[in-house]
Chain A
């Protein structure tokens, strides 16, 4: 069975249909780039996968764990799913190390020493072992996002959801975060990422999924999707992002 299995996912906010009958299988080790216009439902899609949004119908399984409304069951699912946010959402009252160690202690009942050891190892993995005692506001945006990645990795998830993780960063800080994700991908981590970094998607991702008006409009290998887009919507979208990129 696929690592992430999504079938017939529908989600609306009030009368607004945001996700329409989405089905997607993601295999272990795949890196999926989710692209599409703002408002097309990408964030909502990711948030349904770890139960931050409740779906209206459909089923989602991650590593055979179903997404259900029940809090305890959601907890079991979320142990397998890491999430990185656009705005980092680090805990401002805790140091970088305590950010990574908190859930280990609270959720996994590790001892303080154990949790700190795991947390520190993950911070080192993202190249921030030396900033373990810094508070978030003392770190640059790129460093904060890397701490957020370390924090998610500390829980040993089987899949990582990344929602525009470089969009809030100054341009010169984008690369250090992408670098970390690239390394994770090479090590075989399964990643589903919403991104506007087309060249990154092209070079790192195994599959690109184009979302349009709440549907998976077109998907395929990056070469195919970028080189030979089939639908006019995707062609228009790629044209826009290309011209936006050259305009910058």
Chain B
């Protein structure tokens, strides 16, 4: 039995799709911002904090990088309330994304900081800055600039991975797809269209990141 493709059913649900797009973009925007902050803090902690903090940061990075995002999400959303830490689906999703991106971002930013010439640190400290000041004022920005393309790719990867937040009932784009699928049973058309939307979103996010790189970080890269 071969049915013909029918995309018309989708048009009735354009609001659902639009909401899904909005949520997916909201998640990645907030998640990426928090994730970057986590990355920078972790790199800072690894440089300036006592050994036990450094060990904690390293364990965090390794643990997150070596477990699936899905389990991180479920642990946060279903597991943590047992410790009295409850949050909404949206918050859980954002926290999970930030934690996930934070771990990868830490490694990426750290590589950037390591690549920064020793002379930079020395020049800064010889101008009377503390090493801490040198980190924030001299070393960090070039490191971010240098690693921005890698960070951008990682952010897009996290966005692709965020499709699973639909599993804790966050109404993202994938949730919209599943919802429409369950109503219309036109699985192929829906997942096809939503996949295409993801491609467009990824391209948009990449473009936005590139512009941010140019304007905020002044990476001087040609778009």
Direct A–B contact in the complex, CB atoms closer than 8 angstroms: no
| Chain A residues within 8 Å of B, Cβ to Cβ | none
| Chain B residues within 8 Å of A, Cβ to Cβ | none
